[in-house]
Chain A
Amino acid sequence: MMMNPSLKNLSKISSGTIIEGKWHHNRYTIIKQLGFGANGIVYLARHDSKQVALKMSDNGMSVTSEVNVLKAFAKVQGSALGPSLLDVDDWETSEGKVSFYVMEFIKGPDFLSFLKQKGPDWTGVMVLQLLADLQLLHDNGWVFGDLKPENLIVTGPPARIRCIDVGGTTMQGRSIKEFTEYFDRGYWGLGSRKAEPRYDLFAVAMIMINTAFPQRFTKKSGGLEEIMEKVKQSPELTRYEKIISYALSGKFLSANEMRMEIIQVHLPDAPSRSNRQQKTAKQPPFPRQPARSPVKKAKSSTSVQTRKQFNKGKKKFAALETITIILVISLMYFFYIYSQIT
């Protein structure tokens, strides 16, 4: 293999350094380091008076591989899956060649810092946003892979979650490229490392758990019971208990399915409020139904209606109220999506 400057040296680039690409001749002035991980180092840099994020690696192939994913994401219409790609090039230093790519700078705290600042009221909202993005990502044949709080940034206001680091992003059906043990279903003995939507949904559940256990408890022998025991200890997670258990055991077939159940939990009349115990006891398991798109408001509200009637029987008044609320939320969501597209 060719000798490239080591990762250690790459992490020492001082502010003011100008990085000029060999192929496209764009010039980037380093401002500061944003972070680093197993694959490379990310710097904040200036280009044409705009701030950008520049990721370099001692491994040229990992740069190429991530760029491939970002290029594929760029083809997905009306979405912001991952940071947008701005440039790919090589930087020639006295020690050798370094591959780098330049992307949109996503400004904001990482997921856990954001929640620490804002409190647990925001967990649900953020997870809903994340699941909407994942649905789109899955619809386009990908699995995010290395999903964890460090790879999620919350920008805004208005608060909007964004995935960064596509190093683990894998085509569905292949083997997961990169993962982090705590968020990996294989590590917990709860599934394979084949890239499929449910792999990401497992990680989403672990991210929810991580918000209540910032220290990330260690694995003993693995398995669902062990994780759920922890979940039961946290009052913040009580309302999501069933959803987490479903996601961990691979029972949600799509991100949309999981999303719908989280919306349920946040409804005013949700079981998490009044006399929760009694109701959960009677509640049937989540209905097995095909994935619904949140935009198709008519369809989703009817299925919710069925469900409500099933649960409550005669409480028609409450049901009517709920339907109205869902309709309003769906409409708002519809306009939100609409405004994102245009």
Chain B
Amino acid sequence: MKTGTIRQILLITDGCSNQGEDPIAMAALAKEQGITVNVIGVMEHDVIDEQGMKEIEGLAMAGGGVSQIVYAQQLSQTVQMVTRKAMTQTLQGVVNKEIQQILGGGRTVEDLPPEQRGEVMEVIDELGETVELDVLILVDTSASMKQKLPTVKEALLDLSLSLNARSGDNHFSVFVFPGKRKDVEKLLDWTPKLESLTSIFAKLTTGGITPTGPALREALPYFDKKRSLRSFLNRDDESFFEESV
């Protein structure tokens, strides 16, 4: 099986967008382009915001990804779990496509008897280890996130540690919203390691509104920027998980 690139957006927010396009529609738009949207909702210990929670779940559902609410303390572990789970889910979607072609009748892995499912899982595990992964990280830096940013930084460094233990290549880029002049601002261009984040994050200021929808919309084209640059450099880079899940 030919492996392409898995493309994910990892949105870190406390929910409650309040400006611009409907973020859920934008997540659905991402999914149509073969990009899954995963959302991590960072909450204060005692504050459980119903509406924020609903938005977080809705975003991941529309974006074909995974969502998880977390209290700031366990953020690192959760970021790894969500990313990994989403990757498995995407790969499962790809494998399901192949299985449907073989079996017909819209049948998926889950319809196989448990014994055969195991073999499919082994293939997925292997793919998950070797597949190329692009993660665009989108961090909410609106006023309400101020206290949480140091933990977010830790969690992102930690994510790069987890993913770089795989044998497949990783590329990360980091965006924050709201940006200084625009809805979204690029902090870090595509890079295999996130170490440089430490110094950039130190200079980061929080404040302003939460334009989650516009931020998602504007972040999407950056996947193509990376792709066109790379296919310019080496022209054998095809096969993407366009219609997966």
**Which residue numbers of A lie inside 8 Å of B, CB to CB?**
1-2, 23, 38, 59-61, 64-65, 67-68, 71, 88-90, 97, 99, 173-181, 186-187, 192-195
B129 touches A178 (CB 8 A): no
A68 contact from B113, B118, B165, Cβ within 8 A = B118
A65 touches B129 (CB 8 A): no
Segment touching A, from B81-89, B190-198, B215-223, B227-235:
B81-89
In angstroms, Cα B90 to Cα A61, docked, is 12
The smallest C-beta distance from B156 to any residue of chain A, in angstroms, reads 13
Interface string of B151-181 (1 = CB under 8 A from A): 0000000100111111100000000000000
The smallest C-beta distance from A252 to any residue of chain B, in angstroms, reads 20
A186 contact from B85, B121, B162, Cβ within 8 A = B162
A180 touches B117 (CB 8 A): no
State which size class the interface on B falls in. Answer: 20 to 34
- Beyond A192-B161, A192-B165, whether A68 also contacts B114 by CB under 8 A is no
Query: For residue A71, which residue of chain B has the nearest CB?
Result: B118
Closest 4 A-B residue pairs measured CB to CB? Answer: A175-B165, A193-B165, A88-B114, A64-B121
B210 at interface, CB cutoff 8 A: no
Extra contacts besides A23-B113, A68-B121, A193-B161 (5): CB < 8 Å? A1-B64, A60-B110, A64-B121, A67-B114, A173-B167
User: Which chain A residues lie closer than 8 Å to B80 at the CB level?
Assistant: 179
- Beyond A68-B122, A179-B77, whether A193 also contacts B162 by CB under 8 A is yes
Query: For residue B166, which residue of chain A has the nearest CB?
Result: A175
User: Which chain B residues lie closer than 8 Å to A68 at the CB level?
Assistant: 118, 121-122
User: Which chain A residues lie closer than 8 Å to B163 at the CB level?
Assistant: 175
The smallest C-beta distance from A194 to any residue of chain B, in angstroms, reads 5
- Between A and B, 10 residue pairs with Cβ closer than 8 Å are A60-B109, A64-B117, A68-B122, A97-B110, A174-B167, A175-B129, A175-B162, A186-B165, A187-B76, A195-B165
B92 at interface, CB cutoff 8 A: yes
B137 at interface, CB cutoff 8 A: no
In angstroms, Cα B114 to Cα A23, docked, is 8
In angstroms, Cα B56 to Cα A238, docked, is 48
User: Which chain A residues lie closer than 8 Å to B131 at the CB level?
Assistant: none
Query: For residue B77, which residue of chain A has the nearest CB?
Result: A181
B125 at interface, CB cutoff 8 A: yes
A178 touches B81 (CB 8 A): yes
